[in-house]
Amino acid sequence: MKQLRLAIVGATGAVGQELIKIIEERKIPYTDLKLLATAKSAGKKIEVGGKEYTVEEATLDSFKDCDAALFAGGPASKAFGRAAAELGCVVIDNSSTFRYDPDVPLVVPEVNPEALIGHHNLIANPNCSTILLVTALWPIYKYTKVKRVIVSTYQACSGAGKEAMEELKEQSMQVLKGEPIHPEHFPYQIAFNVIPQIDVWVDGDYTKEEMKLVWETHKIMGDESIGVTPVCAVRIPVMRSHCEAVYLETEEPLSVEKCRELFSGEDYIVLQDDPEKLLYPMPVTSTDTDKTYVGRIRKDTVNDHALNMWISFDQLRKGAATNAVQILEELIKRELI
């Protein structure tokens, strides 16, 4: 297997830390590793694989001798993404900067790995809530066309970064002690509360986070005829692992039993669907795994061509870092790097 000169950009953040963890877990082959971040974080020491590395400030020169760079997201993507790709470095980017560019593949390896063929050194990692949705839709779509999806997302604080996770911890203690709450990262108190807004407002009073589900599902699944309605993106007081309530209509009627069979045939899906035993997906069970958990599968009460389900996965892992590393593995496997 090819040995890479590898860089991780945003190495000190929540996603960056997960990227480091996962390249070690999955034994990504590298001869050289650069840990890059902002000037503020430069000089920090991080141990990887028993070796101590010093975090460097990211500059364009950082990518001149790199085969691949995993960007954790943030301003660095816009500042260096395309320029690094033009230098010959394969960029796998976790931000939304390039997701809708027609020349940039948007990839979930379980769904559309063939999109990597002919890449131009720049590959986008989808939004976490979209990855969760399409990994659950794909086994069904391969069996019978999915015509319509209605989805609500329930997103952990990890999706908003390390500072958001710290704010949840701090506010939880403040509430329990009866101390006043002064939100900084979120517009309202997040501890013991839910906030029905993630990201900025766009047309029709949807949020950008909600509309990403529409735009990205169409691009990844290669089918713009799928009707995707995002009901609401909700921030919940959970540290990590997102959940979604999904209603889907199929071209052919699909029984609950057949749906379970389709999910059982995918090694990346964990079927947790036994209501009598109170078995269903939850953040506490999906956290720190790379699986998509599916449960509460049931026929719709009105539409015979429709099912409802509840799904969950770890946003920091499969929703961000693991998916990016899997893209890198797919590039190596296909000799595209």
Q: Distance of CA 334 to CAs 104, 116, 322, Å?
A: 18, 9, 18
Q: Are strands 68-71 and 4-9 parallel, antiparallel or unpaired?
A: parallel
Among 56, 47, 5, 62, smallest CA distance to 28 is for 5
Beta bridge partners of 294: 271, 311
Query: Known catalytic residue: 242?
Result: yes
Largest CA-CA distance found in the chain, in angstroms, rounded: 60
Query: Known catalytic residue: 305?
Result: no
Among the listed residues 157, 242, 243, 259, the single catalytic one is: 242
Among the listed residues 66, 89, 128, 157, the single catalytic one is: 128
Cα angle 217, 290, 156; round to 5:
70
State the virtual CA torsion across 214, 220, 226, 231 in degrees, nearest 10. -30
Residues labelled as active-site residues = 128, 242
